């Protein structure tokens, strides 16, 4: 639904900017889906005067106008037949934008044109394209069209949730805003010819001539006694006007002044009142599907275009003005939320309105130009012979208002929502009216909408309103009452809202406080809020108005769990298990001698293991500073039990203590492999594991936890074999090592087979892990190109060095350099090796051609020759 | 029928005969060129065309072409038949013994203690607990004082506790984590603390290094009934729907009331067996409502807050869940045992979770 900012301001004093209003609406549950600034594009059009008009020398249909915009004169070629000198017209100057089209200086059949004179359609104002738009004669030349048309408004496209039928009109939205902002709601005074006046919303004005004693007591200063006197006076004498109250006992000027505002003015009583009952009959045969049907009658209207203000209002909310009668019904629907329909009285056969079910297969020609075959489940409004409307959904072609219409019947009714929904769905007719009735309109608002419509029709289209109203309303719904326990509200919301504030919120929404006792407040729900039926519904309203985001925070996140570490340890363990490793668990103790066996230097951090005063035995005297001794013990045990192909890991805490109260405790992850790479398979021979198997394990683990750029350097750890071990660093910080354990070290642990180990600090890995998730990288649309390069390299250079050097030649194009072969042998000189790499060239911007790659490849070769003395093979 | 026509029919018949005889695609190719090639008899007949009277030429040419397409169709049909036969033969030749093992790395396995720990952690996380940790090397305050264990309590004895210094020791229970969390966090607290504990004890059912898991809940309005029900739900989720739990009054310095927690023997479901020594029940661990003194030590007002804690040994749970008879086997790390527990199910079989 669309909401016009300026229309809304009729009902509430808004001190908010449109932006603030948008925020308000959204946080009160009326989600703003789009904001449209009307007239914004009209700012570029200028009211200009046509000074002169000459026929185009080369075209019959075109004319050449000299146009004055208040400052300058332009020549504009125009094709509209209705353009004439002296007119004030909307001019689109050079540079103005019309849809996708920008006005440029142009030559039309040889004559230069500097702009365009626009039609209403071109300006997006209406569908009218019969020539250019002509502005009133007194329009100031040079003013922008937005100002001329006063079309500066902000329109909000809002989503009304299906439970809030009351928000389907401007007044409903204004009421909700008023409740939020604590402002009064300004409702239109509805006066239908003095017959009856009523206010919409909370607080009713009383008719002094009909109000009973109880009602009279709601007036300030009037208690039971004065009410009784008034009733007595009325019975015996009667009132001519409120002033007559002065004649009642105990009522003086002071009381009258206080009470005055509570009464309806006594309108001018017309001499002759013709009643609707003389001209129209109503027969409601299905009160279940049509709980209320009202009809009013206006004689002798003048059908024509609506006044500007009415057209503007409708256009702002996206409706097309049609004629004053239809426009008023639409206006009232958008104002009050309740749909209405107007019939041409002359076309109502037998002057009878029948509300009934359709006959099976009965035909009905609707306003949309289609003919529908109705079902017995469809409710129709009919005259004595034929359906004249599909109830609540769409009017009939046979009875709609035309320029010939003189007398009008105003229908305002309520229809059962489920029936309207079925009919609308069955015939696929989706109208503003059906949309509203499907959301369950109230019976009461039907009468108010009818009165408002009658009032506006007389104002806009003239005519005489007949007195009275046909009103079929056999079973009036009882007002719904809900008890609210303020203590419950406060306990449920954990917000300290005092009783008086609760009452204020609910009263602002139209709830009426009937009574209160110790525990509860008893409210009567307004008829327009059928969605409020339980205490919890009221609690929702209270917190909605109070502001969901104004609830004080009570729960602070005090994350106890180290989720990152927890997940990291699981991921590492799972990665190793998938890679064939078995986890072992050892006691956390360590034999002091094992540290010697590992060749640890005296100053090695691992020498500072906490020592127990009362160990289980001398070989368990330390808290373990490394997991390797325990793992080696397990490996030895399993080898001795006949399992020679082993992959083992342990992940637990290691301990260090050096001048401190307690100790440093860190998670460590270590593993060992020995024996053959794969257990025997029928399709290949087993091969013994080597350094690169273990390095691969670690590479896989690092990749698994999102670390891509590990640096590998020769390790100095004392328990590895020289030249067969690497330290791993990430961002310069060492996270661990991988290598072949020294034969002598293994001997001390009673192991004869080659063993490869990795030793990682989980703490260091955790610190090196990228803190955020990987981000998506767009996939290049262009194909990659693969080139191989083979050369011999002196052994003093590492593969990592040459790989980096090759990439560095142009890292955005050379995406990957992958070693795929190493060869040494008789053909290769001693101290050298032959290496083969695959170079992946890839661009995000273009297809790489040989012309591009060849020079790049040559640069790679040149770089390698200069830096590494390679020889190409 | 004129002689040329008879000749045509006869050629077609011979061609079809030979095509039908072709045993494979190669032979068929030879046959095809013999009967449809440039030197074929049919092609030869076309040369006769010029010698025929003008009015007979079109009809004759048409008949020769018909014969050619008849022979062509025959070749294509035979080709399809031979290809299909080839295909079927290939399938037969390449048929795999799909019962042979796949090519892969044999998966490893997590240690039974890790499996049990993860299983319990996952049960508890699903019940809204966070996992907390604390140091293994502790001071006397967190291991004893704050847990309402008096100075002269026998638990402090050197024979039970490993010491590093006078005041520095290896924690004897994960209850230390309770204290560390309550010192630094305000209620509501809902944690489990799995971790290693150390006691100077070594036999078939005791290891000097073992794992415990302790749960702690502190909030306003926590009741004994919450305690009882949470423990019962927990044990059922871990051990299975039919495993009842019960409390036996007991003493722990840091809880009041205190209880020992028993579960129905998971081996015999209560009927009595050698696992439960005939009683039908197994002692799982200790439990109780947090002692007010413990709250006070952590600066939490016991008049405002209440809470409960329960804890047990993880090795014992692992042994029960996996049927491992001797605790020492858990620390031998024999791969012949380790490889028995490769799959981690994440839910107890027969528990409420479906699918």
pLDDT digits (tens, 9 = 90+) for B85-97: 999 999 999 999 8
Hey, is A332 helix, strand or coil? helix
Mean pLDDT of chain A: 89
Q: Is B98 exposed, middle or buried (0-12, 13-18, 19+ CB in 10 A)?
A: exposed
C-beta separation of A635 from A591 below 8 A? no
What was the pLDDT predicted at A265?
Answer: 54
- The sign of the dihedral angle between the CA atoms of B351, B353, B354, B355 is negative
Tens digit of pLDDT for each residue in A153-181?
889 999 999 999 999 999 999 999 999 89
What was the pLDDT predicted at A192?
Answer: 63
- Give the closest of A579, A638, A662 to B335, CB-based: A638
Q: How many angstroms separate the CA atoms of A382 and A409, rounded?
A: 13
Percent with pLDDT over 70 in chain B: 95
B335, A655: Cβ pair inside 8 Å?
no
A610, B164: Cβ pair inside 8 Å?
yes
B132 contact A CB<8A: yes
What was the pLDDT predicted at A95?
Answer: 84
- The sign of the dihedral angle between the CA atoms of A816, A821, A823, A827 is negative
Q: How many angstroms separate the CA atoms of A290 and A257, rounded?
A: 43
Task: Output the DSSP codes for A573-618.
Answer: HHHHHHTTPEE----SEE-HHHHHHTT--TTSGGG---B-SS-SSG
* DSSP symbol at A621: -
With beta carbons under 8 A apart, name residues in chain B contacting A679: 106
With beta carbons under 8 A apart, name residues in chain B contacting A656: none
pLDDT band, residue B154 (cuts 50/70/90): confident
Q: How many angstroms separate the CA atoms of A273 and A296, rounded?
A: 14
Least confident of A152-156, A250-254, A544-548, A602-606: A250-254
C-beta separation of A500 from A521 below 8 A? no
Helices assigned H by DSSP within chain B: 3-21, 25-36, 41-48, 57-94, 112-126, 140-143, 175-184, 224-239, 292-297, 314-322, 327-332, 335-338
Task: Read off the tokens for A49.
Answer: 């005067």
> Best residue in A574, A576, A583, A679 to probe B by mutation, most B CBs within 10 Å?
A583
A830 contact B CB<8A: no
C-beta separation of B202 from B208 below 8 A? yes
pLDDT band, residue A263 (cuts 50/70/90): low
Residues B21-44 as b or e (16 or more Cβ within 10 Å = b): ebeeeeebeebbeebbeeebebee
Least confident of A139-153, A335-349, A605-619, A731-745: A139-153
Q: Please name which of A415, A430, A431, A432 lies closest in space to residue A377, comparing C-alpha atoms.
A: A415
With beta carbons under 8 A apart, name residues in chain B contacting A617: none
B185, A638: Cβ pair inside 8 Å?
no
Q: Is A489 exposed, middle or buried (0-12, 13-18, 19+ CB in 10 A)?
A: buried
Our measurement of the distance from residue A835's CA atom to the centroid of its chain's CA atoms, rounded to an integer in Å, reads 57
B207 contact A CB<8A: yes
* DSSP symbol at A676: B
Segment A815-841 shows an average pLDDT of: 91
C-beta separation of A90 from A118 below 8 A? yes
- Give the closest of B110, B137, B191 to A623, CB-based: B137
Answer yes or no: is pLDDT of A253 > 70: yes
Tens digit of pLDDT for each residue in A556-565?
788 899 999 9
- What are the two backbone dihedrals, phi and then psi, of residue A687, each rounded to the nearest 5 degrees? -125, 145
Question: Residue A597 forms beta bridges with which residues?
Answer: none
C-beta separation of A674 from A635 below 8 A? yes
The count of CB pairs under 8 A between chains A and B is 136
Q: How many angstroms separate the CA atoms of A702 and A716, rounded?
A: 21
Delineate the domains of chain B, giving CATH numbers in brackets.
Answer: 3-93 (no CATH), 112-354 (3.30.930.10)
Task: Read off the tokens for A146.
Answer: 């937005």
Segment B319-335 shows an average pLDDT of: 90
Percent with pLDDT over 90 in chain A: 62
What was the pLDDT predicted at A191?
Answer: 65
Cβ-Cβ contacts under 8 Å for A121 (sequence gap 6 or more): A127, A128, A129
With beta carbons under 8 A apart, name residues in chain A contacting B109: 577, 582-583
With beta carbons under 8 A apart, name residues in chain A contacting B336: 641, 643
Task: Read off the tokens for B290.
Answer: 């947090």
With beta carbons under 8 A apart, name residues in chain A contacting B108: 576-583, 647
What was the pLDDT predicted at B172?
Answer: 93
Find residues 600-619 of chain A whose CB sits inside 8 Å of chain B.
610-616
What was the pLDDT predicted at B159?
Answer: 65
What was the pLDDT predicted at A636?
Answer: 97
What was the pLDDT predicted at B42?
Answer: 81
Q: What is the dihedral of CA B143, B144, B148, B154, to 10 degrees?
A: 140
- Give the closest of A579, A612, A643 to B164, CB-based: A612
With beta carbons under 8 A apart, name residues in chain A contacting B105: 579-580, 678
Least confident of A254-258, A315-319, B116-120, B125-129: A254-258
Tens digit of pLDDT for each residue in A607-623?
999 999 999 999 999 99
Least confident of A259-273, A569-583, B320-334: A259-273
Tens digit of pLDDT for each residue in A187-236?
887 766 544 333 333 334 566 766 777 777 767 677 788 888 888 887 77
State how far residue A678 is from chain B, nearest Cα, in angstroms.
7
Question: Residue B220 forms beta bridges with which residues?
Answer: B305
Task: Output the DSSP codes for B65-81.
Answer: HHHHHHHHHHHHHHHHH
Question: Residue A787 forms beta bridges with which residues?
Answer: A839
Find residues 1-40 of chain B whose CB sits inside 8 Å of chain A.
none
Segment B129-145 shows an average pLDDT of: 94
Q: How many angstroms separate the CA atoms of B160 and B153, rounded?
A: 11
Segment A774-795 shows an average pLDDT of: 91
Instruction: Give the H or E element holding residue A721.
Output: strand A720-730
> Best residue in B135, B137, B182 to probe A by mutation, most A CBs within 10 Å?
B137
Find residues 573-592 of chain A whose CB sits inside 8 Å of chain B.
573, 576-589
Answer yes or no: is pLDDT of B344 > 80: no
Find residues 626-645 of chain A whose CB sits inside 8 Å of chain B.
634, 637-638, 641, 643
B300 contact A CB<8A: no
What was the pLDDT predicted at A270?
Answer: 37
Tens digit of pLDDT for each residue in A55-74?
888 888 888 888 888 888 88
What was the pLDDT predicted at A194?
Answer: 43
pLDDT band, residue B158 (cuts 50/70/90): low
B330 contact A CB<8A: yes
A583, B135: Cβ pair inside 8 Å?
no
Is the backbone peptide bond immediately before A388 cis, with ω within 30 degrees of 0?
no
Segment A778-799 shows an average pLDDT of: 92
B189-198/B130-131 β-pairing: parallel
What was the pLDDT predicted at A205?
Answer: 55
**Longest CA–CA separation in chain A, Å:** 136
B275 contact A CB<8A: no
B191 contact A CB<8A: yes
Answer yes or no: is pLDDT of A659 > 80: yes
Answer yes or no: is pLDDT of A267 > 50: no
B118 contact A CB<8A: yes
What was the pLDDT predicted at A775?
Answer: 82
State how far residue B185 is from chain A, nearest Cα, in angstroms.
7
Answer yes or no: is pLDDT of A352 > 90: yes
Cβ neighbours, 10 Å, residue B310: 25
B329 contact A CB<8A: no
C-beta separation of A161 from A54 below 8 A? no
What was the pLDDT predicted at B104?
Answer: 81
A570 contact B CB<8A: yes
């Amino acid at each position: 639904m669309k909401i016009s900012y300026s229309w809304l301001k009729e009902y509430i004093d808004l001190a908010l900017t449109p932006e603030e209003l948008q925020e308000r609406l959204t946080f009160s549950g009326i989600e703003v889906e789009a904001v449209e600034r009307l007239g914004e594009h009209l700012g570029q059009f200028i009211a200009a005067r046509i000074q002169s008009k000459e026929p185009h020398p080369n075209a019959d249909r075109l004319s050449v106008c000299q146009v004055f915009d208040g400052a300058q004169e332009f020549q504009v070629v125009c094709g509209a037949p209705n353009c004439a000198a002296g007119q004030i017209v909307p001019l689109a100057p050079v540079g103005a934008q019309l849809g996708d089209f920008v006005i440029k200086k142009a030559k039309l059949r040889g004559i230069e044109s500097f702009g365009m004179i626009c039609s209403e359609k071109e300006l997006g104002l209406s569908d009218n394209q019969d020539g250019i738009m002509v502005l009133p004669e007194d329009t100031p030349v040079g003013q922008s069209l937005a100002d001329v048309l006063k079309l500066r408004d902000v329109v909000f496209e809002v989503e009304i949730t299906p439970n809030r039928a009351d928000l389907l009109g401007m007044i409903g939205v204004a009421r909700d805003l008023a409740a939020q902002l604590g402002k009064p709601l300004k409702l239109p005074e509805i006066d239908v010819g003095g017959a009856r006046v009523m206010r919409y919303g909370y607080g009713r004005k009383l008719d002094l001539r009909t109000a009973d004693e109880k009602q009279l007591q709601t007036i300030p200063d009037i208690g039971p006694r004065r009410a009784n006197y008034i009733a007595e006076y009325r019975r015996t004498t009667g009132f001519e006007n409120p002033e007559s109250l002065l004649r009642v006992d105990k009522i003086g000027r002071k009381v009258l002044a206080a009470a005055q505002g509570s009464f309806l003015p006594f309108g001018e009583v017309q001499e002759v009142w013709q009643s609707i009952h003389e001209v129209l009959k109503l027969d409601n045969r299905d009160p279940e599907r049509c709980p209320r049907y009202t009809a009013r009658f206006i004689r002798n209207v003048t059908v024509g275009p609506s006044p500007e203000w009415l057209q503007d209002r409708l256009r702002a909310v996206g409706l097309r003005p049609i004629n004053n009668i239809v426009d008023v019904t639409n206006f009232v629907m958008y104002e009050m939320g309740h749909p209405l329909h107007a019939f041409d009285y002359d076309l109502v056969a037998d002057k009878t309105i029948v509300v009934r079910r359709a006959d099976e297969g009965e035909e009905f020609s609707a306003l949309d130009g289609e003919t529908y075959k109705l079902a017995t489940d469809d409710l129709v409004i009919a005259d004595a012979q034929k359906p004249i409307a599909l109830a609540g959904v769409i009017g009939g072609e046979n009875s709609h208002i035309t320029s010939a219409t003189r007398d009008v019947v105003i229908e305002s009714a309520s229809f059962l929502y489920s029936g309207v929904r079925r009919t609308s769905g069955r015939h696929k007719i989706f109208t503003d009216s059906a949309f509203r009735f499907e959301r369950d309109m109230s019976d009461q608002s039907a009468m108010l909408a009818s009165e408002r419509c009658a009032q506006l029709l007389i104002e806009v289209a003239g005519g005489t309103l007949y007195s009275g109203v046909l009103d079929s309303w056999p079973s009036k719904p009882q007002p719904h009452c809900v008890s609210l326990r303020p203590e419950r509200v406060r306990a449920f919301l954990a917000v300290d809202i005092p009783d008086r504030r609760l009452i204020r919120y609910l009263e602002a929404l139209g709830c009426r406080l009937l009574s209160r006792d110790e525990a509860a407040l008893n409210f009567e729900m307004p008829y327009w809020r059928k969605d409020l039926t339980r205490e919890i519904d009221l609690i929702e309203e209270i917190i909605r108005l109070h502001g969901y985001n104004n609830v004080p925070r009570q729960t602070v996140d005090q994350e106890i769990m180290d989720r990152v570490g927890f997940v990291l340890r699981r991921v590492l363990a799972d990665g190793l298990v998938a890679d064939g490793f078995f986890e072992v668990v050892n006691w956390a103790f360590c034999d002091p001698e094992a540290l010697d066996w590992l060749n640890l230097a005296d100053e090695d951090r691992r020498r500072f293991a906490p020592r127990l005063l009362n160990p289980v035995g001398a070989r368990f005297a330390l808290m373990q500073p490394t997991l390797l001794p325990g793992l080696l013990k397990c490996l030895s045990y399993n080898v001795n039990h006949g399992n020679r192909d082993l992959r083992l890991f342990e992940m637990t805490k290691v301990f260090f203590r050096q001048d401190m109260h307690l100790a440093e405790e860190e998670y460590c992850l270590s593993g060992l492999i020995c024996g053959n790479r794969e257990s025997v398979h029928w399709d290949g021979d087993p091969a013994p594991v080597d350094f690169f198997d273990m390095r691969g394990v670690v590479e896989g683990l690092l990749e698994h936890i999102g670390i891509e750029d590990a640096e590998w350097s020769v390790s100095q750890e004392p328990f590895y074999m020289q030249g067969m071990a690497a330290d791993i660093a990430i961002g310069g910080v060492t996270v661990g090592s991988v290598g072949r354990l020294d034969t002598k070290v293994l001997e001390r642990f009673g192991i004869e087979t080659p063993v490869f180990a990795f030793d990682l600090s989980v703490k260091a890995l955790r610190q090196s892990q990228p803190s955020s998730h990987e981000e998506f990288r767009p996939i290049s649309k262009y194909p990659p190109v693969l080139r191989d390069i083979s050369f011999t390299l002196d052994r003093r250079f590492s593969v990592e060095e040459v790989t980096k050097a090759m990439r560095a030649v142009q890292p955005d194009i050379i995406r990957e350099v992958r070693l795929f072969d190493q060869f040494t042998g008789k053909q290769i000189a001693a101290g050298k090796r032959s290496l083969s790499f695959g170079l992946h060239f890839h661009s995000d911007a273009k297809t790489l051609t040989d012309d591009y790659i060849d020079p790049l490849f040559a640069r790679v070769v040149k770089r390698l020759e200069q830096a590494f003395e390679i020889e190409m093979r | 029928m004129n002689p040329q026509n008879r000749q045509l029919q006869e050629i077609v018949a011979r061609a079809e005969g030979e095509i039908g005889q072709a045993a494979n695609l190669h032979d068929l190719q030879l046959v095809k060129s013999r009967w449809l090639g440039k030197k074929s008899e049919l092609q030869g007949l076309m040369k006769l065309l010029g010698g025929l009277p003008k009015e007979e030429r079109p009809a004759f040419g048409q008949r020769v072409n018909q014969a050619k397409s008849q022979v062509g169709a025959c070749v294509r049909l035979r080709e399809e038949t031979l290809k299909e036969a080839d295909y079927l033969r290939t399938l037969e030749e390449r048929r795999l013994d799909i019962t042979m093992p796949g090519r892969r790395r044999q998966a490893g396995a997590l240690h039974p203690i890790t499996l049990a720990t993860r299983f319990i952690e996952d049960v508890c996380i699903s019940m809204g607990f966070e996992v907390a940790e604390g140091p293994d090397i502790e001071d006397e305050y967190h291991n004893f004082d704050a847990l309402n264990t008096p100075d002269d309590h026998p638990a402090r004895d050197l024979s039970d506790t490993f010491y590093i210094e006078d005041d520095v020791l290896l924690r004897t229970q994960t209850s230390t984590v309770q204290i560390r969390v309550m010192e630094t966090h305000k209620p509501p607290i809902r944690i489990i603390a799995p971790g290693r504990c150390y006691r100077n004890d070594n036999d078939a059912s005791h290891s000097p290094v073992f794992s415990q898991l302790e749960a702690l809940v502190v909030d306003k309005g926590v009741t004994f009934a919450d305690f009882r029900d949470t423990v019962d739900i927990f044990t059922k989720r871990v051990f299975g729907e039919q495993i009842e739990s019960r409390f036996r009054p007991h003493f722990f310095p840091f809880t009041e009331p205190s209880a020992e927690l028993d579960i129905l023997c998971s081996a015999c479901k209560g009927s009595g067996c050698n696992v439960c020594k005939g009683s039908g029940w197994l002692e799982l661990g200790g439990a109780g409502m947090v002692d007010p003194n413990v709250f006070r030590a952590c600066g939490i007002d016991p008049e405002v807050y209440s809470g409960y804690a329960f804890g047990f040994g993880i090795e014992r749970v692992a042994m029960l869940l996996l049927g491992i008879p001797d605790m020492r086997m858990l620390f031998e790390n024999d791969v012949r045992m380790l490889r028995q527990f490769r799959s981690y199910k994440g839910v107890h079989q027969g528990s409420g979770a479906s699918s």
